[in-house]
């Protein structure tokens, strides 16, 4: 998704901006640009494509200055070309970068065109720079113009603006999209960014802007206000992010590194939360256990892979805790009038904690009469964490590959902590509870064993490399694992993959099956195994190529002609969905590798989806 970097310092900052954009590459983008206040006035360089292309343009024309803004754009309004790339200018004096979407851009465009402004792009963003230019001339200063302009914008935004009428100044604001301020060396330089990663080489000290906040930075000072322009003070946080997370190390891709980090990431997620067959008290926050004792219903809301984690939890919460649970996609939930039964816990799941649909769903839920809101999230300083009453961090560490891997398995582990806590409260016998918690404690070792299947799965990947379509099948709490397997394959290899509950096959999708259709089934050793075996037979009877990712104890139930079987030690029914995810991830990875696609930054996708 789009990225912002801005800097004011007493030294040349072009490198800070370009390196910052490079650090944001993992979020996905399709064009980039920088604008600097130089001794020749405001100068800008923009290009479609990669930061390397922007760097080459800059090397050919190395503009320098001590104040400027930069952007990576992920196209929403208008194709990825130079004219649509940010920064956008109004005349020659003012430049702006924007993350988000301005919903009333058409009305503002008409108004500003009537006032004589010429538009050069198809973007929704360009109205912002012209409006701020107009207001700067009316109000006489950039910050007042920003404040007045923010009142006119409808939609979501984080922006950074610089004007050569105010040398050495950048102003910014956030509403709906994240923006953070970095405090640099000796408090004599200040930065803005949409993501702390962009600034880690320069500083570890950050102020996270709150919803509606506006900021003015100069090299030696800053001003922070709320949306009304009242000066506010916000805590300075020291980022603990490990610099190694941004290094692929010996791995060819971040995705592969992150797949291999899963045993450690899950162990970290369980660390200090489970011990000797028990889940420790109040791991969801102070007073959480009393609240959980009152829960009668659960609503889980998330997007994409995080939604699939929520789907697994739905099966497990209903089965083990006996509480009604629904899981819903955030972009649907946020526009619905939910009927909330008494004592319902609202749970969001998000790797980034900045997914706009999930955040908006949380804000929507706060008006709907829930017992409490809980976030399961990977980014401690994220908006989702800050706005939720209870929180369980997943501790996966930064996930750089766009396709979610360790975020998913750590979410599942965290959700199982919630499930078992609720199960214990709602009468699960002590012995069973202890056995289940011990199953969870075995998880890191089981994940490490599953990773040993890598070379076996690499061989199977060849089956897919020349295929256009694939089907994935699962039942019960493994149906969402089939969905996740299909999502991974389509995201990074661009093969069309669909997942179905295996029992649904004969109600339509079976018509697609022939010898050109690889079909992947997830086969845990559970009560539905015999049903799944019949579904596999249905595929084989139509000539389909089966690949079965099976619990090693389920293998005996499969017929000899049931296709390729990958045997996995899953360690029991609770954690089986997590363990069986690993072969799915490896399969997608190796297929993409054979196809030569951009694994860490798949086309059209972004890491943290901060627009609707």
| Catalytic residue numbers, as ranges | 2, 607
Q: Which range, of 348-356, 473-481, 530-538, 591-599, touches ligand F6R by CB under 6 A?
A: 348-356
CB of 491 to ligand F6R, least distance (A): 6
Asked if 169 and 601 touch (Cβ cutoff 8 Å), the reply is no
Provide the CA 441 distance to its chain's centre, in angstroms: 27
CB of 172 to ligand F6R, least distance (A): 23
Nearer of residues 37 and 608 to ligand F6R, judged by Cβ: 608
Spatial distance between the Cα atoms of 565 and 555, rounded to a whole number of angstroms: 8
Residue 589, preceding bond cis, omega within 30 degrees? no
Spatial distance between the Cα atoms of 398 and 119, rounded to a whole number of angstroms: 39
DSSP 575: T
Nearer of residues 487 and 499 to ligand F6R, judged by Cβ: 487
Asked if 100 and 156 touch (Cβ cutoff 8 Å), the reply is yes
* Residue among 262, 352, 535, 573 that touches ligand F6R (CB under 6 A): 352
CB of 309 to ligand F6R, least distance (A): 9
* Residue among 491, 526, 551, 600 that touches ligand F6R (CB under 6 A): 491
Q: Enumerate the H helices of 67-187 as residue ranges.
A: 105-114, 126-139, 142-152
Helix axis angle for 406-425 and 304-316, nearest 10°, is 30
- Integer-rounded Cα radius of gyration of the chain: 26
Nearer of residues 216 and 314 to ligand F6R, judged by Cβ: 314
Nearer of residues 355 and 373 to ligand F6R, judged by Cβ: 355
Q: Which residue is nearest to ligand F6R (CB)?
A: 304
Spatial distance between the Cα atoms of 178 and 354, rounded to a whole number of angstroms: 7
Per-residue tokens: 201 = 């080489």
Asked if 37 and 167 touch (Cβ cutoff 8 Å), the reply is yes
Nearer of residues 262 and 355 to ligand F6R, judged by Cβ: 355
168: how many CB neighbours lie within 10 A of its CB?
16
228: how many CB neighbours lie within 10 A of its CB?
10
* Residue among 200, 298, 609, 611 that touches ligand F6R (CB under 6 A): 609
CB of 431 to ligand F6R, least distance (A): 35
* Residue among 162, 203, 327, 355 that touches ligand F6R (CB under 6 A): 355
* Residue among 194, 316, 404, 601 that touches ligand F6R (CB under 6 A): 404
* Residue among 31, 350, 419, 570 that touches ligand F6R (CB under 6 A): 350
CB of 34 to ligand F6R, least distance (A): 27
Count of residues that bind ligand F6R according to CB under 6 A: 15
269 binds ligand F6R (CB under 6 A): no
Query: 229: burial class by Cβ within 10 Å (0-12, 13-18, 19+)?
Result: middle
Interacting residues with ligand F6R between 48 and 77 (CB under 6 A): none
SS (H, E, C) 135-168: HHHHHCCHHHHHHHHHHHCCEEEEEEEEECCCCC
Per-residue tokens: 605 = 């996708």
Per-residue tokens: 63 = 């503009």
- Contact flags string 526-565 toward ligand F6R, x per CB under 6 A: ----------------------------------------
Q: Enumerate the H helices of 27-103 as residue ranges.
A: 51-60
Q: Which range, of 240-248, 261-269, 350-358, 386-394, touches ligand F6R by CB under 6 A?
A: 350-358
Nearer of residues 19 and 358 to ligand F6R, judged by Cβ: 358
* Residue among 403, 457, 489, 582 that touches ligand F6R (CB under 6 A): 403
Per-residue tokens: 202 = 């320069």
Spatial distance between the Cα atoms of 352 and 355, rounded to a whole number of angstroms: 7
Q: Beta strand 545-551 with 564-568: parallel, antiparallel or unpaired?
A: parallel
Nearer of residues 356 and 372 to ligand F6R, judged by Cβ: 356
Q: Which range, of 104-112, 346-354, 504-512, 555-563, touches ligand F6R by CB under 6 A?
A: 346-354
What sign does the dihedral 303-304-308-311 (CA atoms) show? Answer: positive
CB of 384 to ligand F6R, least distance (A): 8
CB of 193 to ligand F6R, least distance (A): 18
Asked if 444 and 396 touch (Cβ cutoff 8 Å), the reply is no
360 binds ligand F6R (CB under 6 A): no
351 binds ligand F6R (CB under 6 A): yes
Spatial distance between the Cα atoms of 534 and 293, rounded to a whole number of angstroms: 41
- Contact flags string 281-320 toward ligand F6R, x per CB under 6 A: ----------------------xxxx--------------
CB of 490 to ligand F6R, least distance (A): 10
Helix axis angle for 479-493 and 304-316, nearest 10°, is 170
Number of helical (H) and strand (E) elements in the chain, helices listed first: 19, 26
Nearer of residues 30 and 491 to ligand F6R, judged by Cβ: 491
Nearer of residues 72 and 331 to ligand F6R, judged by Cβ: 331
CB of 406 to ligand F6R, least distance (A): 11
CB of 498 to ligand F6R, least distance (A): 16
Nearer of residues 194 and 351 to ligand F6R, judged by Cβ: 351
Q: Which residues bind ligand F6R (CB under 6 A)?
A: 303-306, 350-352, 355, 358, 403-404, 487, 491, 608-609
């Amino acid at each position: 998704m789009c990225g912002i970097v801005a800097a004011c310092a007493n030294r040349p900052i072009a490198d800070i901006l370009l390196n910052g954009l490079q650090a944001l590459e993992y979020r996905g983008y399709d064009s980039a640009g920088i604008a600097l206040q130089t001794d020749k006035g405001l100068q800008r360089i923009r290009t479609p494509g990669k930061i390397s292309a922007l760097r080459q343009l800059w090397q050919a024309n190395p503009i320098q200055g001590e104040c400027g803004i930069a952007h990576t754009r992920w196209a929403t309004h208008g194709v990825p070309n130079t004219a649509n790339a940010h920064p956008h200018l109004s005349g020659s004096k003012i430049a702006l970068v924007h993350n988000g979407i301005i919903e009333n851009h058409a009305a503002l465009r008409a108004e500003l065109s009537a006032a004589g402004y010429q538009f050069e792009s198809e973007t929704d963003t360009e109205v912002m720079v012209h409006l701020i230019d107009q207001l700067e001339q009316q109000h006489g200063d950039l910050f007042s113009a920003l404040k007045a302009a923010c009142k006119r914008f409808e939609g979501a935004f984080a922006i950074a603006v610089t004007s050569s009428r105010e040398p050495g100044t950048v102003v910014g604001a956030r509403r709906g999209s994240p923006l953070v301020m970095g405090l640099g060396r000796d408090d004599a330089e200040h930065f803005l960014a949409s993501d702390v990663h962009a600034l880690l080489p320069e500083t570890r000290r950050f102020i996270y802007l709150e919803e509606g906040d506006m900021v003015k930075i100069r090299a030696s000072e800053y001003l922070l206000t709320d949306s009304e322009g009242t000066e506010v003070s916000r805590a300075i946080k020291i980022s603990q992010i490990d610099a190694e997370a941004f290094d692929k190390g010996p791995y060819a891709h971040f995705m592969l590194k992150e797949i291999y980090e899963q045993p450690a990431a899950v162990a970290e997620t369980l660390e200090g939360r489970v011990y000797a067959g028990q889940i420790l008290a109040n791991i969801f926050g102070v007073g959480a256990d009393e609240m959980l004792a009152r829960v009668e219903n659960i609503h889980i809301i998330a997007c994409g892979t995080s939604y699939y984690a929520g789907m697994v939890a739905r099966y497990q919460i209903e089965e083990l805790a006996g509480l009604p649970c629904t899981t819903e996609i955030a972009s649907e939930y946020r526009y619905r009038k939910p009927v909330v039964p008494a004592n319902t816990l609202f749970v969001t799941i998000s790797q980034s904690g900045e997914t706009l649909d999930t955040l908006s769903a949380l804000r929507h839920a706060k008006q709907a009469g829930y017992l409490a809101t809980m976030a399961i999230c990977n980014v401690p300083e994220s908006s989702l964490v800050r706005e939720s009453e209870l929180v369980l961090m997943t501790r996966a560490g930064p996930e750089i590959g766009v396709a979610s891997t360790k975020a998913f398995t750590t979410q599942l582990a965290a959700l199982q902590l919630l499930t078992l806590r609720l199960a214990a409260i709602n009468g699960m016998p002590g012995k069973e509870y202890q056995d289940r918690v011990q199953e969870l404690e075995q998880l890191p070792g089981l994940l490490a064993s599953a990773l040993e299947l890598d070379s076996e799965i690499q061989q199977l990947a060849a089956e897919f490399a020349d295929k256009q379509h694939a089907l994935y099948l699962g039942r019960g709490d493994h149906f969402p694992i089939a969905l996740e397997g299909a999502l991974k394959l389509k995201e990074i290899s661009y093969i069309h993959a669909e997942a179905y509950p295996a029992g649904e096959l004969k109600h339509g999708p079976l018509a697609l099956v022939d010898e050109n259709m690889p079909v992947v089934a997830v086969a845990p050793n559970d009560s539905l195994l015999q049903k799944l075996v019949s579904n596999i037979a249905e595929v084989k009877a139509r000539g389909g190529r089966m690949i079965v990712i099976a619990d090693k104890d389920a293998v005996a139930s499969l017929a000899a002609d049931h296709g390729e079987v990958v045997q996995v030690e899953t360690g029991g029914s609770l954690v089986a969905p997590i363990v069986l995810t690993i072969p799915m991830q490896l399969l997608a990875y190796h297929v993409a590798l054979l196809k030569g696609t951009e694994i860490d930054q798949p086309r059209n996708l972004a890491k943290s989806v901060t627009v609707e």
